[in-house]
Amino acid sequence: MKNPIRIGTRDSELALWQAHTVEKQLQDLGYQTEIVAVKSDGDLQLDRPLYELGITGIFTKTLDMALLQNRIDVAVHSMKDVPTALPQGIIQSAVLPRANVLDLLVLKQEAPDFENQPATIATGSLRRQAQWLHRYPQHTVVDLRGNVNSRLKKLHESTWAGAVFAAAGLERLGKSPAQAITLDWMVPAPAQGAMVVLNRADDWGIQEAVSQLNDPETEICVHIERQFLRTLEGGCTAPIGAWAKYNEQTDQISFEGVVLSLDGKKRLSMSETIPVQDWKKAGYYWAQKILNAGGNELMTEIRAQLPSNQS
């Protein structure tokens, strides 16, 4: 391959960290690379909650266009930001080994008894908001947008008790605060902690190069989670969590999935373990279980409450 591989990325610190991680791995394989950073609509429009912007693809469509217009060769994303249906002409070439999948509550100050008192918690995620309110209905949840650094700054300058972050993002940047609580009860977003690399479907040389970075275990687990999400949401953003884990000792996959009403008052969940060879349609079947157990009605309720561009 004579020309350098042009690696497209958002220009936030975390996105650039991810792009440079891919760059380093490609360089270790002998490829020349070049980083191309762009701003997405999701980075530019910080004054409205994500669900009002049309969250599907808000962080990825700028790079999608750059790919299709041959201005970059690959795009690197946090996989949880990528729509479950990729644009025509774009394919997934690699999923990197997964980092920490859990969420963290970053506290503004030490507050050991905040759980039993009225408190304000910040997050820009409907999933986190609904799960938090389900567990702590006495709390208030406010919107929080921006990159990791700006969100940490807003928390420091606020009167909030804390804010919820993905552990992986903080860990990758070396910014995990001492005053943080791991939310092991909160079901993560589908594909949280995973990085994905996309390329043009007709660019076989690039696909061959990048596919060497793929981690099969992570690829299977996030496939299940995203299939669960796609089957449930039907084009509608909703508070949905999913986590598939591979157990090497038993050669099984355990799964936990959840969908909640926007206010957190209604919660439908399921968990199951299967042999790893049954993974291909597992997310679909588990989503159908949720839908048949009241999920259809709940999703109809959610669509009615969201802006029209979300349903």
Per-residue pLDDT of the chain (311 residues; tens, 9 = 90+): 668 999 999 988 999 999 999 999 999 999 999 999 987 554 434 444 434 434 445 668 889 999 999 999 999 999 998 999 999 999 999 999 999 999 999 998 765 677 788 899 999 999 999 999 999 999 999 999 888 999 999 999 999 999 999 999 999 999 988 889 999 999 999 999 999 999 999 999 999 999 999 999 999 999 999 999 999 986 667 999 999 999 999 999 999 999 999 999 999 999 999 999 999 999 999 999 999 999 999 999 999 988 754 44
The β-bridge partners of 36 are 8
Cα angle vertex 262, ends 260, 267, to 5°? 20
d(CA 43, CA 5): 25
* Class of residue 117 by CB neighbours under 10 A (exposed 0-12, middle 13-18, buried 19+): exposed
CB atoms within 10 A of CB 107: 19
Q: Do 201 and 87 touch, CB atoms closer than 8 A?
A: no
- Which residues are CB-neighbours of 88 under 8 A, at least 6 positions away? none
- Catalytic residue, chosen from 73, 81, 103, 203, is 81
Q: Are strands 267-275 and 252-260 parallel, antiparallel or unpaired?
A: antiparallel
Residue 31 DSSP label? -
103: annotated active-site residue: no
Q: Taking the C-alpha atoms of 126, 182, 94 and 19 in order, what is their torsion angle to the nearest 10 degrees?
A: 90
pTM beyond 0.85: the answer is yes
**Both structure tokens of 20:** 């440079």
- The helix or strand, by DSSP H or E, that contains position 243, with its residue range, turns out to be strand 240-247
Q: What is d(CA 87, CA 60) in angstroms, rounded to the nearest whole number?
A: 10
Q: Cβ-count burial of 29 within 10 angstroms (0-12 exposed, 13-18 middle, 19+ buried)?
A: exposed
Structure tokens at 285: 């079947």
CA distance 6 to 8: 6
